[in-house]
Structures are given as structure tokens and as C-alpha cells.
Amino acid sequence: MLAPTLIDYGTEEQKERHLEPIARGEEFWCEGFSEPDAGSDLASLQTKAIKDGNHFIVNGQKTWSTFADYSDWCCLLARTGPHSRRSKGLSFFLVDMSTPGVTVNSIKNIVGEPNFSEIFFEDVRVPKGNILGGENEGWQVVQAFLSYERATIAPIAVVQTMIERLVEYIKDNPERQWTNARNTLAKLAIETEIGRLIGYRVAWLQDRGMATDWHAAMSRLYGTELLKRAAGAAMEILGLYSQLDERENMAPLYGWIKHLYLASIGATIAAGTSEIPKNVIALRGLGLPRE
């Protein structure tokens, strides 16, 4: 997600420093966007970056940062205009996670895995050269970043894998009564193919350098909501067995369906709740006025 954003907005020095390590898998990044009081309403964030010579001094807290405790760098959105409001006066920083003053604490997600983290910034010095896209122009950069994040086809791929595994499980257990399984899986297969085509269209637009913000929002919304519906349908198909996790010998598919069902709820929240892409589609795609 960062690499294409760097290509769009980065200086030559920033591209040379980061693109190759990202491509080689030698540099791992996390997001520093959400805060305890600023999630989907990202423009209300309070983390501040105050200019001090050739550096900015960053103070604040970020949360729900996936794998921050394993990350080398952080994409940080902070308020550089001390008197600015909402999306005005925000800047997008590239922050080395080894910088003094950065503290990371792990948070368990709904599945019980410590994938999330909260990040504390206490007088963290970030060089001016680490601003991506210009001072006070971070909102435009983060919107481009989020478009790349929302363009992911991952939810659709997960549903496709789930369908394939369920089909094999049903074939291997013919003694069970699979009421409505055929109709449900057939419908999900159609919806998955629709999602795949939407994802391909977004990739096609991106390859041609065309604006994809609302197309990406459509892909994200469709994929995550389908994942949630599909996981719920899988729970119904497997019945009471679906509630068993990997610790139980009788758990279908090693408890993966239960894990997927819980994780799918978070998928409709990450990168903005489902209401956020709906707003993007309505405003930028359909041209509807703001309320």
C-alpha cells in the first residue's frame, strides 16, 4: 500500500531509500492512522508534529496498528498545523520505528491473536525530509494510500478458498445432512465471481493511472460485506460443529470457519467502517451532495 503511494508522491530520495527494500521484503511497515478517539473519522486525529529546525517533534498515540511490534517503519498521519481543524493541516510522515520515544504495546484482536498494537510517540524527532507529499498536504496522500488499501482482493480470495474447502468437506462427509448447502454455496460462488471482476477492474484502472478512489471503495465494501455473509453462511451450513475451534478433534476444517467468522466482523471495520466506503461511493462516484 505504501509503495504505490511513494511512487505517486515520494521524492526521488524517498523512492530510492524505500522502494527496493519494500519489494525485497526487507522493510516491514505499519500504519499510524487511527487513534483512541479517531477511527473512521480520521480527520479528527490529535497526534501533533511541531516543527523544530530540520525536524518535527511528534507527540501522540495511535492504535489498531497491525503488526507494529514487528515493523521497521510507520506511515504516520499527524497534525502539523497547530490551529488547523479536521483534514486541514495534516502531514504524512515516514517514521523509523527505532527512533527514541517510540513505544509499542500489543493488543489482542477479536480472535485472541496479538496482531494489533498501540503506538506511543513521546518527543519523537522526525526529519523534515521524511514528509511524504509536502507539509500540511497529508490528507490527499492518505486518501491515495487508503485507495490502494481498499483495492485489495483479499476478502474475495478468502471467500473463494472457503467455498472450495467447504465443498471438499461436504464431499468427504456424505453421511451428514447438508440442507440448503447447494443453493447457498452456488449463490456465494456467483457473488465471489462478481467481486473478482470488480477487483480486476480496479487493478485495470490503476494500471492506466486513472482515479480509483470510489471504485476501490466499492471493491472494499463488496468484498468485506461478502466475507461477513459467507462466513455466517458457513457457520449455518456446518451447524453446531462450526463453533468448535482448533483444539477440538471434531472441529470441521480445523476450526478455521469459527476463526473466519470472528475475523470477518473486523474486516468490515478496518480501513474505515462500511459506512465510509458508502460515503465515498455516494459523494465521489454518484456525485450526491453532502448532507
What residues are annotated to the active site? 149
Report helix, strand and coil shares of the chain as percent, to nearest 5. Answer: 50, 20, 30
DSSP state letter for 35:
B
* Burial environment of residue 137 by CB neighbours within 10 A (0 to 12, 13 to 18, 19 or more): middle
Tell me the CB-side half-sphere exposure of residue 39, using CA atoms within 13 A: 13
Give how far Cα 17 sits from Cα of 10, 12, 73, 246, Å: 10, 8, 12, 42
Give how far Cα 36 sits from Cα of 4, 42, 46, 47, 117, Å: 28, 11, 10, 11, 12
What one-letter code names the amino acid at 62? K
CB neighbours (10 Å) of residue 106?
13
Rounded CA-CA distance 31/48 in Å is 16
Exposure string (b/e) for 59-76, b if CB count within 10 Å is 16 or more? bbbbbbbebbbebebbbb
Strand partners, 105: 118
Rounded CA-CA distance 45/255 in Å is 38
What one-letter code names the amino acid at 5? T
* Burial environment of residue 219 by CB neighbours within 10 A (0 to 12, 13 to 18, 19 or more): buried
